[in-house]
Structure formats: structure tokens, C-alpha cells
Copies of this chain bind each other. A is one copy, B any other.
């Protein structure tokens, strides 16, 4: 990368002036609503979003990326996508590199990156696709795959001939972008809603002439990287401001897969994350733009702490549960085949500093959990920001439970998921609210934790006094498997009531899915945490032993209108155990 690239990156493109000139942007759309049974979800197409922004005179930005060259590069790009996503781009697009096996399942392919962008990072995603030199069969395969992934926006391009060859008209082949658009229209039950001019291919950039005043200015500071960086950002901000003052609402950035400069420019333009966006559902931060899981609105609560794992393990499902989990004829949970993309870059050093260089006994492990839930530094003064059971950090509502959770974790009740009960709070509540702002949300108190098998008799004795709760207790092998739930029904633990809508119940405790979750969560002890340590080390053996002997417990308090009884159960269990220890020690004495 030359310094000039750095200086004028990100490159800015004015969108608005090019709207509705050509027909290269294709939106996959749902069919017309069934007149008898309309879908409760309405998808707003990207073009409609853009039009609405312009009508409301709101500014926006969008970000363009290219597929990475290495698996490590893919991991880095995904981190950047997740970070840049918090700035709320209107959409992100990924370019198509015909030479880079762009439709493959490799972590570096355009198709795979667009999948991650859309379904895991939850960004409105546009996939470039080029047709030059392709057969109709291969194009059909590419488009089928894009559709099955859930891509709803394609930027149809002609594409360039391979380096060193000339563009030539091909009989029955794809010669122009319009050939591809025609092919898409002929082959997909799809609806091109609107269109606008193609974005200039980034390669053409090199043919642009850099204005003389920029060349002169940069000549003076060419040995000062920091000055060049500042100058580049300054230029970009000025250009954007001029455009926006001239009535441009949308700005498209060619990020060159970098995040620092674009973030600073966006912040200075006041385009970065201006509005805090309400949660669409409790387990995803905003409405999915994916065509492949459009009506999904109920998930087992277990994966609310690992949403990427859930998306990964359900990516082969043909349809997603909607309204009611128990209605679903969805297949069983798949494996974590795509999941490595997110974790190939796990930073061992960082993780060891947070989770402990040496774990000598169980209380060392308990204190890691306690530090994580409390946000307090661990014994070497390091704050625990990532945790193997928790992809996205602690949910904001966990702050309502911090003190109790820390206390219980320090005593060996290793909580991995919990929520307070909520009895009809406004859906606009900043901590526990979700959905449109004029509804009411409800929750049953829920807790999930690992615990030593030595607690079992005391836990069961404490639970007996509370028939209002439903519990499941299981160990890794499944030979301990206890529940007071007589039917294998899902239990709704989060639901919402909104004007003019059916009841939404986005999370359930499902006894059958819990079996799949059990395997996943016990494996985390050894596969994500244990592997940080040498084989046969005390730390690794301790984690293996915990994985093999601890119990996984979940408890739902069905009485959401009353005070949560879960703390009482845990306190009584601890007291019963303490009394028993006292008895034993008295006997010994």
C-alpha cells in the first residue's frame, strides 16, 4: 500500500446523484403477501431504505470491503466488520474476485464473507457479482447460493477480462451487466424494485488523476506518516462536508478493509452511530436483513449467549421456528463447521492473562467466573472482557443481578446465563426493552450454571420447596439427567405484547434442544479453555475434570408476577451444604 492509498483512503463515492439511472442493483424480495395469511414481518428493501433516508433528509453512509487473501485476514476482517457495524452503516458491500474462487466455501471467498457479514454480523449486505466469461450454469449456481445464504442485494457487474486479455463479445455468453440482470430476472420468482448506477470498480481508481494541489501538499509531508494520515482524513472530511452541504445524503466508503481512518472520518462527520437503535428481539441487536431466516422469531435461551454458534448450527435449516418453538419441524442442530472463522485468531496470551496462567484448584476457576460477571479485575489485575461461554460480553440486563451473581460464583455456582423476571415493562426500557417502543415486555427469571456434583443432594432438597420452578440438571455423559418437568414442552421465558400484533415469544427453554446445548457447553471447558494449556498440565487436567464431573443446571421461575425465588433456592442450597459440612466436621472432631 502506498502512502497515497493511505491518504485518500477511504475513497468516497456520492450515491444520491446516481440513483435510478441504471438497473444493476437487484433486490431479492419475498413474494407478494398471501392474501389470506399475511406475513407479520415486512422486509424493507435497501432501495426503500435509501429512498426513505432521502425523503426524511437523513444522512447515511455505507462501507465497501474486498475479500481477504488469508484465513487470518478473514478473521481480522470479521472483527472490523463487527466493530464498524456498531457505527450503523446503512449497508456494507463485498466485492467479487473471479480469480479468488469467489463462490466457494473458503473463509476467504466473497460468498463466505457476505454470509458472515449478513448472518453473523447482522449487517445489511450487498454482494457484488460479475458475469464476464461465465457460463449460465455457473452463474445460476452462484445466484442460487447467494439466495440460499439470504443475500437480498446484488450488485450485478460485467466484470473485467483477465489481466492481459481484451474484452470480446461472446455469443450466448454474458457480455454486459445488463445480460446478467436479464438472466437474474428470467431465473428468479424475484422483484427488481429500484435501481441505480453501478459503483465504479475500485480498480478504476488507479486511472483517476490525483489533483495537483493534493500532490503538492503531500510532497511536503511525504516523510511524515502521521501527518499524511491526518492530511488524508482532513481531505476526506472536507470533501464529504462539501458534498453534504451540496445536498448529498449518502456517502459510500471504499474502506480497503481498514477501519481506523473511516471511523475517524465518520465520527467527525457526525455519521457514526448517531441513534441508539432499539433491540428488535432480545437475542439479536437489530432486524435481520437476511432472506434466509426472515420470519425467525423464537430461539432456545441457551444460545442467547452464543448467537454466532446458534446461527452456525442452524445454517442448514430450511425453515425457522416462528411464533412457537413447539410447532417447528426444524431438523436437529448441526455442528460448528463455520465457527472457526470467528475464533481462528483467539489470542492465547490475552486469554491466559484473563482466565489464568495457572489454575491450581476449583476456586481459581470459580474466581474467574466471579471476575467476569462482576467486571472486577482478576487476581493479577486483569479485567476479563471475553469469556468462552459468552460471545458478546455480558448482556446489559445482567447488571441488574451483578451483586448476587458475583457472590454465588465465588461459592462455586458458575453462572453462564441469567435473566431477571420482568412483569410488563415498557418495551422502550433501555435495559430490558426490545421491539417497537409502544409495547410491553415480560420475562421469567432464569439461571443456568455449572456446579460440582457434591451440591446435588442439597440442590434437590432446596428445589423441592419451590414447585413454581422448572429445573433441569444434567452431566456431560447424560447419566445424571434430572428434571421436574413432566412433558417435553418448551417453556416461554421472554415474550412481548405489541399493539396490532400477535404475541411474540423470542426465547424459550426447550428441554430437547438443551441436550444439544449441554454437549456444546461442556465441550467449551476443554476445547476453548483447556486447550490454552499444555497437555497433562494441572490447569488442563483441572478443566477436564470439571467438564467430566460438574453438573449443568437450568432453572426457570414460572412466577414472573412475584419476586424471583431463584436466589432463595441457591441460598438454601448453600446453607444446607454448609450445615452438612459442619455435621461432618463435628463427627470428625
Interface positions of A (Cβ within 8 A of B): 33-40, 42, 322-332, 423-424, 438, 440, 442, 468, 470, 485, 487-492, 495, 497-503, 505, 508, 512, 556, 558, 560-561
Given contact pairs A485-B500, A489-B502, A502-B508, enumerate 14 new A-B contacts (beta carbons under 8 Å): A33-B488, A36-B328, A37-B328, A38-B326, A38-B488, A40-B487, A323-B326, A424-B424, A492-B497, A495-B497, A499-B558, A500-B556, A502-B505, A503-B503
Given contacts A323-B326, A324-B324, A497-B495, contact A38 B560 (CB under 8 A): no
Q: A492 and B502: CB pair below 8 A? A: yes
Copies of the polypeptide in the assembly: 2
Q: B37 and A326: CB pair below 8 A? A: yes
Task: Report the bound CA distance from A512 to B495 in whole Å.
Answer: 25
Given contacts A322-B324, A330-B36, contact A491 B501 (CB under 8 A): yes
Closest B residue by C-beta to A495: B503
Among A33, A470, A485, A502, find the residue whose CB has the most chain B CB atoms closer than 10 A: A502
Q: A34 and B329: CB pair below 8 A? A: yes
Q: A326 and B505: CB pair below 8 A? A: no
Is the contact region of chain A dominated by helix, strand, or loop, or is it mixed?
loop
Q: A489 and B38: CB pair below 8 A? A: yes
Task: Report the bound CA distance from A321 to B75 in whole Å.
Answer: 44
Q: B327 and A560: CB pair below 8 A? A: no
Q: A487 and B34: CB pair below 8 A? A: no
Given contacts A37-B328, A42-B487, A322-B327, contact A501 B497 (CB under 8 A): no
Task: Report the bound CA distance from A512 to B38 in whole Å.
Answer: 8
Neighbouring B residues of A500 by C-beta, 8 Å: 470, 485, 487, 489, 491, 556, 558
Q: A37 and B497: CB pair below 8 A? A: no
Neighbouring B residues of A331 by C-beta, 8 Å: 36
Q: A327 and B491: CB pair below 8 A? A: no
Task: Choose one: B42, B324, B423, B491; the contact of A499 (CB below 8 Å).
Answer: B491
Task: Report the bound CA distance from A324 to B328 in whole Å.
Answer: 12
Neighbouring B residues of A324 by C-beta, 8 Å: 40, 322-324, 502
Given contacts A470-B500, A491-B501, A499-B491, contact A323 B329 (CB under 8 A): no
